[in-house]
Structure 1
Amino acid sequence: MNINTHGIWAIYRFEMARALRTLWQSLVTPVITTSLYFVVFGGAIGSRMSTIDGVGYGSFIVPGLIMLSLLTQSISNASVGIYFPKFTGTVFELLSAPVTAMEMVVGFVGAAATKSIVLGLIILATAALFVPLHIAHPFAMLAFLLLTSIAFSMFGFIIGIWANGFEQLAFVPALLITPLTFLGGAFYAIDMLPQPWRTVTLFNPVVYLVSGFRWSFFDKGDVSVGLSLGVTMLFLVVCLLVIGWVFKTGWRLKN
């Protein structure tokens, strides 16, 4: 089976060029937002809190901050990337081009994941200016960064196909992903919650993403790293199956 690398590269390059045209919003704004988080959470609140699991509060919130930006940006980048061809009608040119569905997904999702990973690394570098950081498992950190960005870029791709307007594009990140991240242990350890909320929180899938990512930094997490990796891989596979069904049926693409 021949892979149309030229087609994949064309889609990828176009999406990356669109990000460069909005460089201020794509990079500078998240850096400023991260700095404000450290001023408020790390400075005002962190100075009044003891360490959490032996980790200073300012350092403790770094994985949660990166994960918050990673999830929202992955969804936003991928959903906008596929929604605009639908909105302008050029999606039919993509569907009739000599590019398979999988090649199209690789181009869009690859570009969205790349932008999210770069943003995550920039936020990590910004955080290092405010708090001392030590990454216990750097390769595991990069693996979680890569898998999470790909999985949620696929999820964003599905949202972009599902959406019928710009309001729906913003609905899922603003009203679902961001609250789930805040309630998923991004800024606290779930052991700090009283029962039954501690048990209820375990039904939040973002808990496993944040916990695994935090483990890669501090060798400590709310749940086992194996479970965190398993949940991440399961979500990726589910998104892949849904995308396959979308292209097989043409749902909201061909009608």
Structure 2
Amino acid sequence: MNWRGVWAIFHHEMMRFFRTIWQSLASPVLSTVLYFVVFGAAIGGRIESVEGVAYGAFIVPGLMMLTVLQQSVSNASFGIYFPKFSGTIYEYLVSPVGWIEVTMGFVGAAAAKALLIALVILLTSFAFVGVHILHPFWMIAFLVLSAVGFSLLGFIIGLWAKSFEQLQIVPMMVIMPLVFLGGAFYSASMLPPFWEGVAKLNPVLYLISGVRWSFFGLADVPVGVSLLAVGVMVVVCLGVIRWIFATGWRLRD
């Protein structure tokens, strides 16, 4: 394992993030404030609590997961797409690093950025609602696993995309709807039985449910199933990335 190569890629990606730190943090914080105003104040005035939890606090895990998934996908996809676009991807392909080191560098940086912004979202929420984290270790575990899983997915999207338009189509047309339909702002148990069953076909529901359980001890699906879902996602994405580097698909076009 070439750890120096991993660190070089990771450090380069993190420096790009910190060069625009205020822009990177201001947007998600502003979005969080707007979500609290619209959902927490307006809708929260009509829905006082969900399963015994104040609605304003109930949506905090969903907001954090919304940020983690969006940022993980966008950071990882752009991080690997830009070297393809500029032609510097060949420097990675001929350097003494394998697909594991390249993946760890880009995905690790994307996940770290997403987790940092999620922490800022959590701190911002304290200004609006009182939030008690019942299982802090599991909260960190679910956030890290989700960030890594969706950073791997974003990495695949960046390798697949041939244009900036393709780079945005999956996050906007797939990821965003799945998050909003995955119980970010409501519990699946609030839905009619048929639609509750449909909601449980959404893989994002399992991730949000796991994080919400770590906060309040409430879950739409068993916690073990949530862990299994994110574990399967990580394994499948790693398999796809290994195949891409082994075959050169979309790398040497």
Give secondary structure in 1 for the equivalent of 2:244: helix
Give the Cα separation in 2 of the matches to 1:126 and 1:136.
19
**Residue in structure 2 matching 1:125, options 123, 126, 130:** 123
Give the Cα separation in 1 of the matches to 2:23 and 2:141.
26
The AA in structure 1 aligned to 2:113 is K
By how many angstroms is 1:234 displaced?
Answer: 0.6
Structure 2 counterpart of 1:190: 188
Give the Cα separation in 2 of the matches to 1:110 and 1:198.
34
Q: Kindly, what percent of the aligned residue pairs are identical?
A: 58
Structure 2 counterpart of 1:227: 225
Mark the runs of 5 or more structure 1 residues left unpaired by the alignment.
none
Structure 2 counterpart of 1:11: 9
Over aligned residue pairs, what C-alpha RMSD do you find? 0.8
**Residue in structure 1 matching 2:59, options 42, 55, 61:** 61
Kindly tell me the number of residue pairs found equivalent between the two proteins.
Answer: 253
1:32 aligns with 2:30: yes
Give secondary structure in 2 for the equivalent of 1:24: helix
**Residue in structure 1 matching 2:216, options 194, 218, 235:** 218
1:163 aligns with 2:161: yes
Matches within 5 A, 1:134-173: 134-173=132-171
Divergent runs of 4+, >4 A: none
TM-score, normalised by the number of residues in structure 2: 0.98
The AA in structure 2 aligned to 1:176 is V
Give secondary structure in 1 for the equivalent of 2:125: helix
Give the Cα separation in 2 of the matches to 1:69 and 1:176.
15
TM-score, normalised by the number of residues in structure 1: 0.98
Give the Cα separation in 2 of the matches to 1:197 and 1:73.
28
CA shift digits 1:48-107 (9 cap, x unpaired): 113101000000000000101100100000000000000000001110001111001110
Give secondary structure in 1 for the equivalent of 2:133: coil
Give the Cα separation in 2 of the matches to 1:220 and 1:49.
17
Give the Cα separation in 1 of the matches to 2:40 and 2:53.
12
By how many angstroms is 1:238 displaced?
Answer: 0.5
